[in-house]
Amino acid sequence: MGRMFNTLGIVQARLGSTRLKGKVARRLGGKSLLEWVVRRVTDCQRLDAVIVATGDAPEGYALAELVPSDVPLFVGSESDVLSRFADALGRFPAKAVVRVCADNPFVDPVLIDRLVRTADLHPECDYISYCSHGGRPTILSAVGVYAEWCRADALLQAHRHAAEPADREHVTRYLYSHPELFQVRLIAAPRQLDRDDVRLTVDFEEDWEHAQAIYDALGPEELDWQRIARLLDGQPALRSRMAALNRKYAKT
């Protein structure tokens, strides 16, 4: 067991995506999608360490070739992702976790740091993330620039008590869906991105094409959420395609 971190960033990744196979190995600006996301997370100022957590399917071990050498790879349960995170905390003890999904190439370090600052100001909280104008946690959207913060003890409590398959697969679902058990705090998402015609996660082939178009338009150094929002504001055709995908694949 290593030293106790205050806040550990965990990038959740897998190579065997059913919708867009091998997507985290695809190249964006010369880097794999996974390396791109990891580097966005390691740019955060308020994280003490970052690891990648993947499943124990055969392709999970192949993921090691895509993870930067200075970032540890933890291999846990493939199907029980909540258990994977709990076991990762056994290897990398921390007081709190920031969870990031590896299919979000534009996850924003500034927005992640804001979560940690909010947690410092509200030590009673168990779960902190952003929410849309309707009050839903942004993890249920496909905007794809957000992360989630949770207290490690709360995550381990969820691991002990969550029984529904969906709660085992979706790491934080048990936390934000049980406000009677956990102190949940949701921050209003930036209004420029809080709209139904923004989609920045990579789940399907068309999502990948959109990510490439955004990268080509802005370049590697200009990918903060404000510049992306301004770019999309002037691209109604692109937003229309994103809106259609959001309607077709709405998360519940």
Q: Is 186 within 8 Å of 146 (Cβ atoms)?
A: no
Give the bridge partners for 10, in sequence order.
Answer: 51, 99
Structure tokens at 243: 């809106």
Structure tokens at 82: 């909540």
Residue 52, CB-side half-sphere exposure with 13 Å CA sphere: 32
Name which of 154, 187, 189, 188 is nearest 173 in CA terms: 154
Q: CB-based contacts of 110: which residues, under 8 Å, 6+ apart?
A: 224, 225
Give the pLDDT confidence score for residue 19 in this predicted structure. 76
CA–CA gap between residue 184 and residue 181 (Å, rounded): 9
Name which of 102, 110, 108, 105 is nearest 211 in CA terms: 105
Q: How many residues does the chain have?
A: 252
Q: Provide the CATH number for the domain formed by 5-193 in this structure.
A: 3.90.550.10
pLDDT band at 241 (very low <50, low <70, confident <90, very high): very high
The 3-state DSSP class for residue 87 equals helix
Give the pLDDT confidence score for residue 252 in this predicted structure. 52
Per residue in 59-84, pLDDT tens? 777 788 999 999 999 999 999 999 99
Per residue in 155-169, pLDDT tens? 999 999 999 999 999
Give the pLDDT confidence score for residue 16 in this predicted structure. 73
Rounded average pLDDT over 212-218: 96
Rounded average pLDDT over 40-69: 92
Per residue in 14-27, pLDDT tens? 887 777 888 999 99
Q: Is the pLDDT of residue 1 over 60?
A: no
pLDDT band at 227 (very low <50, low <70, confident <90, very high): very high
Rounded average pLDDT over 174-185: 97
* Percent of the residues in the chain that have a pLDDT greater than 70, as a whole number: 98
- Return the beta strands (E) in 84-207 as ranges: 94-101, 127-131, 148-151, 184-188
The 3-state DSSP class for residue 33 equals helix
Name which of 198, 201, 188, 48 is nearest 129 in CA terms: 188
Q: Is the pLDDT of residue 9 over 70?
A: yes
Per residue in 100-126, pLDDT tens? 999 999 999 999 999 999 999 999 999
Q: CB-based contacts of 177: which residues, under 8 Å, 6+ apart?
A: 167
Report which residue type is found at 195.
R
What count of other Cβ atoms lies within 10 Å of the Cβ of residue 98? 26
Rounded average pLDDT over 180-186: 98
pLDDT band at 2 (very low <50, low <70, confident <90, very high): low
Give the bridge partners for 228, in sequence order.
Answer: none
Query: So where are the chain's domains?
Result: 5-193
pLDDT band at 58 (very low <50, low <70, confident <90, very high): confident
Rounded average pLDDT over 28-55: 96
